Amino acid sequence: MKTFEVAVIGGGLAGMIAAVALGRGGRDVALIAPSAPREDRRTTALMDQSIRFLDRLTLWDRLKPAAAPLATMRIIDGTNRLLRAPTATFRSAEVGLEAFGYNFPNSALMDVLEAAVATEGNISRFTAFADAIEVSADRVAITLSDGDTMVADFAIGADGRKSKLRETVGIDTRNWSYPQSAMVLNFVHSLPHESISTEFHTESGPFTQVPLPGKRSSLVWVQSPSDARARSELSLGELSNVVEERMQSLLGKVAVEEGVQIWPLSSMMAHRSGKGRVALIGEAAHVFPPIGAQGLNLSLRDVMALTDILCARPELPIAADTGNQFDRKRRADIMTRTASVDVLNRSLLSDFLPMQVLRAAGLHILAAVPPFRSIVMREGIEPGRGFRDIPAAIRERLGRKKA
């Protein structure tokens, strides 16, 4: 029977990054990750904090050629409602950054991670499924679908929203759905995007264009399931015209590429992110709509927290209550982000006038009050950063007045 310090169950982006981070942090890692299908045409926007983490793992230089910077993020009220919000524009230069983050195809990051796993001496890769898991006070025993067995001091569930590890330790979840689907596609355009991401708020949800290298962008279009199905049946030429019209021709002529995908929208949050010798990361712990570039960024903060806990003293054995420590460390961030995405999404769907007033007023404040906009931008990049920077911003403002 093989023995390891950490077993990572799941071979998606979060699981692969966790394995690399812990392996390079000095832990002996078993990565239980069957080869993933390469049909995912989605892209991911990682914010500056996440990019810096990938850089520390020496992954960023290999990923950067496939990525496009997000230097400006713009929100446009595309509804036909009586109360419409003003356009809000956020520029990374306002917070001293060249870019808020970078957008890239998920497949590009997976290629980089596969190469990193293959060359990391502290990672042993197993391509069978975890068939049976037993968790006790002093170890985690895992039997694979090919009959192989192993024990680990600690297990990380990165095995998705139907996580076997989560079910094994009896952690319940809260699940809810939305009357929406996300159409995901990439398109070519005749005008340069100039590193600007534009999010149109519509009555059915956000319509979000995010830059890719060259004159290409990705699109996440949240809409009713019936509209998504109908539009997915259009020819590429017809769909291109629809996208161009919805974009108000901001990027000129549009040509949608092959591979349009439809994803039903729902959310899930585990009641705990860890327990004893188990931690849950990524979609094993939290799932929410693709709004505000929060999904994988939140998962990477899971990985960062685990790395802090498990790799601060890699020469020491892993404590029996490490999962509880992880849960305490991650609870506030996960609850806050999940709630904020849920409220934003519901505010777009709501015909309740006071809700529309609040949404419009919030965007008006963001557009009109630079100090508040700066705080929100810093919070979006790195939780807690905006509020930590308030004293420095006040001192700087007072200094300018004295001068």
Per-residue pLDDT tens over the stretch 226-248: 999 999 999 999 999 999 999 99
Report the pLDDT value the prediction gives residue 353, as an integer from 0 to 100. Answer: 43
- Cβ burial of 290 (10 Å; 0-12, 13-18, 19+) is buried
Q: What letter does residue 93 receive in the DSSP assignment?
A: G
The predicted model gives 42-52 an average pLDDT of 93
Burial 358-385 (b: 16+ CB within 10 A, else e): ebbebbeebbeeeeebbbbbbbbbbbeb
How are beta strands 101-105 and 43-47 bridged, if at all? Answer: antiparallel
Q: What whole-number percentage of the chain has pLDDT above 70?
A: 84
* pLDDT greater at residue 90 or residue 317: 317
Q: pTM of this prediction?
A: 0.87
Residues in Cβ contact with 252 at an 8 Å cutoff, skipping those fewer than 6 apart:
189, 190, 191
Q: Residue ranges of the domains in the chain? A: 2-38+105-174+268-344
pLDDT at 296 over 60: yes
* Strand order from edge to edge, sheet including 101-105: 43-47, 101-105, 68-70
Q: What is the mean pLDDT of the chain?
A: 88
Domain at 2-38+105-174+268-344: CATH code: 3.50.50.60
Alpha-helix runs per DSSP H in 97-235: 106-119, 164-168, 225-232
- In 190-243, at which residue ranges do the beta strands (DSSP E only) sit? 196-202, 205-212, 216-223
pLDDT in tens, 139-184: 999 999 999 999 999 999 999 999 999 999 999 999 999 999 999 9
pLDDT at 84 over 80: no
Measured in whole angstroms, how far is the alpha carbon of residue 204 from the centre of its chain? Answer: 21
* pLDDT band for position 86 (cuts 50, 70, 90): confident
The predicted model gives 345-372 an average pLDDT of 58
Q: For 15-29, 34-48, 119-133, 271-285, which range has the lowest pLDDT when averaged over its residues? A: 34-48
Report the pLDDT value the prediction gives residue 390, as an integer from 0 to 100. Answer: 47
24: closest CA among 99, 152, 113?
Answer: 113
Residue 58 Ramachandran class (φ > 0 left, ψ -120 to 50 alpha, else beta): left
The predicted model gives 104-122 an average pLDDT of 95
* pLDDT band for position 377 (cuts 50, 70, 90): low
Question: Largest Cα–Cα distance of the chain, in whole Å?
Answer: 73
- Coil/strand/helix, residue 242: helix
Residues in Cβ contact with 36 at an 8 Å cutoff, skipping those fewer than 6 apart:
11, 12, 110
The predicted model gives 326-354 an average pLDDT of 77
Report the pLDDT value the prediction gives residue 152, as an integer from 0 to 100. Answer: 98
Report the pLDDT value the prediction gives residue 35, as an integer from 0 to 100. Answer: 77
Q: Which helix (H) or strand (E) is 60 found in, with range?
A: helix 60-63
